Amino acid sequence: MLSDNSPYKKEFFRLLDQIRTEVDSLKRNIGELERENSRLKSKLHEIEEGQTDIFSEVSESERLAIRHQVLGLISKIDSHLEDPK
């Protein structure tokens, strides 16, 4: 058995203390990162709730006008494709 004054035993306890210090530091970092993650998730949730789709901001008359324009373009494309030249 190693004596209390053994250099190996002293080195072992010194390294053990370093490991404990590092583990404590990592635990604190984990706690900080978990809090930051939670804060960012809350912020993302708030942003997602505030978002709307593009058509919810458009009035009904504007939607009908857009629909009419799209149908007109589709009709022109169809007639162009069907036109045998």
What letter represents residue 61's amino acid? S
Q: What is the DSSP letter of 56?
A: G
> DSSP character for 58?
S
Confidence of residue 55 (pLDDT cuts 50, 70, 90): low
Structure tokens at 7: 């250099």
Amino acid at residue number 83 = D
Residue 1 pLDDT > 80: no
Token pair of 48 as six digits: 């997602």
Q: What percent of the chain has pLDDT over 90?
A: 56
pLDDT of residue 2: 58
